[in-house]
Amino acid sequence: MNSIPEKPTLDGIEARWAERWEADGVYRFDRGADRDQVFSVDTPPPTVSGSIHMGTIFGYTQFDSVARYQRMAGKQVFFPIGWDDNGLATERRTQNYFGVRCDPTKQYEPDFEPPFRGDVPAKHHEVPVSRPNFVALCEELTAIDEAVFEEIFRRLGMSFDWTLLYTTIDAGSRRTSQLAFLRNLARGEAYSADAPTVWDVDDRTAVAQAEIEDRERPGAYHLLAFHGTGDNAGDVMIDTTRPELIVSCVALVAHPDDERYQPLFGSTVRTPLFGVEVPVVAHPLAQPDKGTGIAMVCTFGDTTDVTWWRELDLPTRSVIGRDGRIVATPPEWLETPEALAAYEAIAGKTVKQAQAATVEALTASGEMHGDPRPLMHPVKFYERGSRPLEIVTSRQWYLRNGGRDEDRRNAFLARGKELDWYPDHMRHRYDHWVEGLNGDWLVSRQRFFGVPIPLWYPLDDDGEPRYDSPIVPADDTLPIDPSTDVPPGYTADQRGRPGGFAGDPDVMDTWATSSLTPQIAGQWVDSVLSGGSLFGNVFPMDLRPQGPEIIRTWLFSTVVRAHYEHGSLPWTSTAINGWILDPDRKKMSKSKGNVVTPMGLFEQYGTDAVRYWALAARPGVDTAFSEDQMKVGRRLATKLLNASKFVLSTPDPSGGDVEIDPVDAAMLARLGQTVAEATTAFEGFDYARALEHTESFFWWFCDDYVELVKQRAYAGEAGAAESARHALRTALGTVQRMFAPALPFVTDEVWSWWHDASVHAEAWPAAPAVTSELSLDAASEVLARVRRAKTEAKRSQRAGVARLVVTGPAGWIAQLEPCRRDLVDALTIADFELSAGAEDAAVGIAVELVPDEA
């Protein structure tokens, strides 16, 4: 038997136990386990962005408790963790932290030192650095942040197998991501196309539908006169919020049923300022009640323009460059000197500047009627961006996701139905997203810190890339970087030369890699290239826990990749956690400035207390951040210390069979019920209900049962004392194990007082094989009533009871008879009378306290 501290404390237990778990490999996955013994969890690797949000703590704690249960229930738990570090978020932090900016035209400098490490002055101009230098700085910064994240997750008590740690930029992830992409390409699921693409002008990269959000922004309708031609000599008035795009106008469009414009369909008009002749066409997407009911189609003002352009087969007249400015050279479709002069006024300007110049010119020419009419309207932004998105034409890589293909869409909807969702209603978010897709998944990004698209292109005699016949690397050479690696059959000096080759300059979208976390963590590549067996033992995984905000991105894209590569779901179940709301019930977010950091809370309340707060929330339910709940959790943890100390301080029961006392049997039967309820709850991933049942039993056990039997356990007659001592220890050991998934630190602390191995390596408790007809509810009632009497008499709970008369229905009184001796001891009763009446008799409890001597 190990020793029990004189004064048990929660202080410092996190560091002690976290270290012990790692040293003993308590959470290490056993690769020899068969698939049916494995419970595998696809943990979404968090973005290492400098600080951890309480929402992450919240969700991760919930599924850690599920994983801990599964481990105790006998499963080999495959519980990897990774860091999602590639992508634009890291690039931005690197720029801000070091004061640099990536310029791929620069040469690599082996001894480069960044101008700053943190604390970059506001006026500093970013120093351009080569791509390899920039990537090295990204890696330096993520290493710092990842160390902080690891410390927090260890402190949180996450039962990850840290030997499985990966990052989404490491060699294994790059290899996985590139191999999966090449196989998508080979099967025709990936393709490249030169097409209109939603473009962020600040980050100078294409962005995907999933990264776009609408924001309400002020704008204005401008009423413009287009001029009829031929027989229709009159002006046609249109309302537009983007007059600067008149030069890109390729048509006017109205609804086919709109009688006002019937006569115009098939005719042409000339644009204001530029005099370009464009057709008037009909399309059902035109909204008769919006503005004048007829709109100008530009290439491209918004995604509806793209639809019109595609479906009506209109020409392309783009003028917005990738920097968000009107291109300097006048386009060839402008013919007249007036048109060229008008273009001169906007050339080289930003969209905003060009709009002002255009309005000025229109006012001067009299082609704008009245003043602009302000309105609020939704404008598309990159979710991390600060300027509206533009649409430019560029060559990009896509993965087919059903956005343009009914059969694939139906296949992905079917996958969504096949998946078990916890809670079930979260499946609607998936369905709506898939049903609303309007294009394939754009996976290429014109960025630097990401997994390179693993392709080269042959250059023709003019030095132009032949995009239709990319050069593919051999699988066993992955990962590659086509900007430095040379394709088979070529030499390095042929790079960029006519007849030579060029590497694809782009990297993949971060989701193109993080959609492969089951394959990365499960070492799928090894199973493909060298027959490794791990993947088959963990995939498809059992559970994907995650937040609701990444259903449309992460969850969906992971389903897409597994569907293509494995013809299956990536996991059988997904559990979606809720939001964290601040006490005012507003969503916590950095921009609102109401974010709390976890480390301070761990120190103030103890990790188990913070975990208690997270685990008290029902699965999937939005939950208020509540330090009050943490206080309750701390009290529970403290109670577990004290109760454990007390139970273990009763005399050790001797071996051998004892005859079980009816009171003890009743408690153990109730305990058995609790075990059954907690087990059922956990099997359905309902950690909250499991905790609630355990907690409520535990408080009853402390308040009533322990009080009833403490005298007997200490000093009762031999057999009865033995029974109580056995029962106390049985209940304590069961409760400690049932609390272990929720409160890993305090439970291992108290478990260690009487065991050598970690409680987390123990089996989930079975219900004691004890049945009982006896209910202790009547005894609890008597305890409460006598306590109340003492309280009302302003007496100590130690005060003796001179005489206690309990009357009630015979059946109810019968429940008290077996408790008589324990009640007498617990309440210090001199004279105890039980009086059975008729079955409809009222319960009466008359308490006569011994006189107060004071």
Partner RNA sequence: GGGCGCAUAGCUCAGCUGGUUAGAGCACUGCCCUUACAAGGCAUAGGUCGGGGGUUCGAGUCCCUCUGCGCCCA
Q: How far is the CB of 847 from RNA (least distance, A)?
A: 13
Alpha-carbon gap, residue 268 to 226, rounded angstroms? 10
Sign of CA dihedral 182, 188, 190, 193: positive
Quick one: which of 594, 626, 807, 828 contacts RNA (CB under 7 A)?
626
Question: Per rule CB under 7 A, is residue 52 in the interface with RNA?
Answer: no
The SS3 of residue 573 is strand
- Compute CA 64 distance to the chain's CA centroid, rounded to the nearest angstrom: 14
- Burial annotation 673-692 (CB, 10 A radius, 16+ → b, else e): ebbebbbebbeebbbbbbbb
Stretch that binds RNA, among 25-33, 429-437, 445-453, 734-742 (CB under 7 A): 429-437
Q: How far is the CB of 630 from RNA (least distance, A)?
A: 10
Please give the residues from 203 up to 232 whose contact with RNA meets the rule CB under 7 A. 209, 213-214
CB 783, CB 820: distance < 8 Å: no
Q: How far is the CB of 400 from RNA (least distance, A)?
A: 18
Q: How far is the CB of 231 from RNA (least distance, A)?
A: 37
Alpha-carbon gap, residue 22 to 670, rounded angstroms? 36
# residues contacting RNA (CB under 7 A): 56
Quick one: which of 707, 748, 749, 762 contacts RNA (CB under 7 A)?
707
Question: Per rule CB under 7 A, is residue 433 in the interface with RNA?
Answer: yes
Question: Per rule CB under 7 A, is residue 623 in the interface with RNA?
Answer: yes
Q: Which is nearer to RNA, 260 or 586 (CB)?
A: 586
- Which token pair is 543? 């559970």
Q: How far is the CB of 34 from RNA (least distance, A)?
A: 33
Q: Which is nearer to RNA, 631 or 755 (CB)?
A: 631
Question: Per rule CB under 7 A, is residue 428 in the interface with RNA?
Answer: yes
Question: Per rule CB under 7 A, is residue 790 in the interface with RNA?
Answer: yes
Quick one: which of 229, 771, 797, 835 contacts RNA (CB under 7 A)?
797
Nearest to 595 by CA among 98, 109, 56: 56
The SS3 of residue 312 is coil
Question: Per rule CB under 7 A, is residue 115 in the interface with RNA?
Answer: no
Q: Which is nearer to RNA, 279 or 548 (CB)?
A: 548
Stretch that binds RNA, among 13-21, 173-181, 665-673, 780-788 (CB under 7 A): 780-788
The contact mask relative to RNA for 128-167 (x = CB under 7 A, - = no) is: ----------------------------------------
Q: How far is the CB of 562 from RNA (least distance, A)?
A: 22
Stretch that binds RNA, among 50-58, 102-110, 394-402, 623-631 (CB under 7 A): 623-631
Stretch that binds RNA, among 407-415, 564-572, 633-641, 732-740 (CB under 7 A): 633-641
Q: Which is nearer to RNA, 229 or 642 (CB)?
A: 642
Q: Which is nearer to RNA, 369 or 428 (CB)?
A: 428
Please give the residues from 574 up to 613 whose contact with RNA meets the rule CB under 7 A. 579, 583, 585-587
Q: Which is nearer to RNA, 74 or 583 (CB)?
A: 583
CB 392, CB 446: distance < 8 Å: no
Quick one: which of 16, 369, 432, 497 contacts RNA (CB under 7 A)?
432
CB 129, CB 109: distance < 8 Å: yes
CB 254, CB 264: distance < 8 Å: yes
- Which token pair is 387? 């300027």
Quick one: which of 414, 784, 810, 846 contacts RNA (CB under 7 A)?
784
Please give the residues from 545 up to 574 whose contact with RNA meets the rule CB under 7 A. 548-549, 552
CA atoms within 13 A on the CB side of 467: 10
- H or E, element range at 467: none
Alpha-carbon gap, residue 455 to 471, rounded angstroms? 6
Quick one: which of 635, 651, 810, 844 contacts RNA (CB under 7 A)?
635
Alpha-carbon gap, residue 714 to 646, rounded angstroms? 11
Question: Per rule CB under 7 A, is residue 706 in the interface with RNA?
Answer: yes
423: cis peptide before it, omega within 30°? yes
Q: Which is nearer to RNA, 459 or 668 (CB)?
A: 668
Q: How far is the CB of 658 from RNA (least distance, A)?
A: 23
Q: What are phi and psi of 53, to 5 degrees?
A: -80, 150
Stretch that binds RNA, among 34-42, 407-415, 427-435, 527-535 (CB under 7 A): 427-435
Residue 629: Cβ within 10 Å count: 20
The SS3 of residue 655 is coil
Q: Which is nearer to RNA, 763 or 846 (CB)?
A: 846
Query: What angle do helix axes 54-72 and 687-700 make, rounded to 10 degrees?
Result: 70
Alpha-carbon gap, residue 50 to 532, rounded angstroms? 35
Question: Per rule CB under 7 A, is residue 728 in the interface with RNA?
Answer: no
CA atoms within 13 A on the CB side of 776: 28
Question: Per rule CB under 7 A, is residue 270 in the interface with RNA?
Answer: no
Residues 6+ apart with CB under 8 A from 806: 782, 813, 816, 832, 833, 834, 835, 843, 844, 845, 846
Q: How far is the CB of 378 from RNA (least distance, A)?
A: 6
Q: How far is the CB of 584 from RNA (least distance, A)?
A: 8
Q: How far is the CB of 643 from RNA (least distance, A)?
A: 4
Q: How far is the CB of 636 from RNA (least distance, A)?
A: 8
The SS3 of residue 47 is strand
Quick one: which of 193, 596, 632, 849 contacts RNA (CB under 7 A)?
632
The SS3 of residue 215 is strand
The SS3 of residue 830 is strand
Question: Per rule CB under 7 A, is residue 490 in the interface with RNA?
Answer: no
Question: Per rule CB under 7 A, is residue 699 in the interface with RNA?
Answer: yes
CB 822, CB 828: distance < 8 Å: no
Stretch that binds RNA, among 135-143, 399-407, 474-482, 785-793 (CB under 7 A): 785-793
Q: How far is the CB of 696 from RNA (least distance, A)?
A: 7
Please give the residues from 164 up to 193 whose contact with RNA meets the rule CB under 7 A. none
Query: How far does the chain reach from its first CA to its final CA, in angstroms?
Result: 44
Question: Per rule CB under 7 A, is residue 796 in the interface with RNA?
Answer: yes
Sign of CA dihedral 415, 417, 418, 422: positive
Residues 6+ apart with CB under 8 A from 546: 44, 59, 554, 555, 574, 575, 576, 577
Residue at 450: amino acid letter: G
Question: Per rule CB under 7 A, is residue 715 in the interface with RNA?
Answer: no
- H or E, element range at 664: helix 662-683
Q: How far is the CB of 710 from RNA (least distance, A)?
A: 7
Own/partner pairs for 349-356, CB < 8 Å, 24+ apart? 349/325, 350/324, 350/325, 350/326, 351/244, 351/320, 351/324, 351/325, 351/326, 351/388, 351/390, 354/244, 354/326, 355/242, 355/243, 355/244
Stretch that binds RNA, among 63-71, 228-236, 310-318, 643-651 (CB under 7 A): 643-651
Nearest to 273 by CA among 189, 201, 341, 188: 341
Q: Which is nearer to RNA, 702 or 761 (CB)?
A: 702
- 580 forms beta bridges with 623
Alpha-carbon gap, residue 325 to 343, rounded angstroms? 13
Q: Which is nearer to RNA, 658 or 827 (CB)?
A: 827
Pairing of strands 501-503, 456-458: antiparallel
Stretch that binds RNA, among 48-56, 312-320, 498-506, 618-626 (CB under 7 A): 618-626
Q: How far is the CB of 802 from RNA (least distance, A)?
A: 18
Please give the residues from 272 up to 291 whose contact with RNA meets the rule CB under 7 A. none
Q: Which residues bind RNA (CB under 7 A)?
A: 209, 213-214, 378, 425, 428-429, 432-433, 436, 548-549, 552, 579, 583, 585-587, 618, 621-624, 626, 628-629, 631-632, 634-635, 638-639, 642-643, 645-646, 649, 692, 696, 699, 702-703, 706-707, 710, 783-784, 787-788, 790-791, 794-798
